Amino acid sequence: MDLIARVQGHFLESISAKEQAMELLSPLVAAAAERMVACLMNEGKVLACGNGGSAADAQHFAAEMVGRFEKERPGLAAISLATDTSALTAIGNDYDFDMVFSKQVRALGHAGDLLLALSTSGNSANVIEAIYAAHERGMQVIALTGKDGGKIADLLSPEDIHLNVPVSRTARIQEVHILLIHALCDALDYMLLGGE
């Protein structure tokens, strides 16, 4: 296979993953956006976490909430738990890397806040611990996973929202996750500001 065909293969696979996710997840993304607006209108905030590319997604999401997405609006309360290198290294070094997010959830989270938990495998121990901590704090979870949802699929409660991208390749899952995040941001703006 030549290099151009290989690149085209990535596009085709990504398109197919997105088409599949569109059918399965559009109603759940709408429900997640409604849940987020209710949380924010009630003085709540969204804490976001994930590893690697998903850490970047958590940070990307929080930046678009606090700054803006496509429309001018007051900032919305969201914090990436994957961004504070001092907290991450101190907790990882002094306790355990599995606790880097859960300790922040316990410190910052309150009942009525939401946890946006990202894991393509659904099996990252620190994201799992963050979900336990969120439940303990009376927070609901919006989980973005891939594959079969991993261990996260089993530990979510009925009140949580699970956006699972049921494909096997991590890169494709991440590409759908960032689309889901942008669709969420757009839905929030639409509900808060109206318009097109």
Residues in touch with Zn ion (CB under 5 A): 53
Sign of the C-alpha dihedral, residues 164, 165, 166, 168?
negative
Q: Is residue 80 near ligand I22 by the rule CB under 6 A? A: no
Q: Measured between alpha carbons, how far is 121 from 54 in angstroms, rounded to an integer?
A: 11
Q: How many CB atoms lie within 10 A of CB 34?
A: 14
Cα–Cα nearest to 113, from 83, 144, 134: 134
| Window 97-136: residues binding ligand I22 (CB under 6 A) | 119-121, 123-124, 127
Check the annotation: does 98 bind a ligand. Answer: no
3-state secondary structure of 117: strand
Q: Which does 170 bind (CB under 5 to 8 A by kind): Zn ion, ligand I22, none?
A: ligand I22
3-state secondary structure of 138: coil
Query: What residue has token string 């894991």?
Result: 119
Query: Contact with ligand I22 (CB under 6 A): which of 37, 38, 52, 155?
Result: 52
Query: Contact with ligand I22 (CB under 6 A): which of 61, 174, 181, 185?
Result: 174
Q: Which does 124 bind (CB under 5 to 8 A by kind): ligand I22, Zn ion, none?
A: ligand I22
Contact positions vs ligand I22 (CB under 6 A): 51-54, 119-121, 123-124, 127, 170-171, 174
Q: Residues within the annotated binding site for substrate?
A: 51-53, 64, 93-94, 119-121, 124, 174
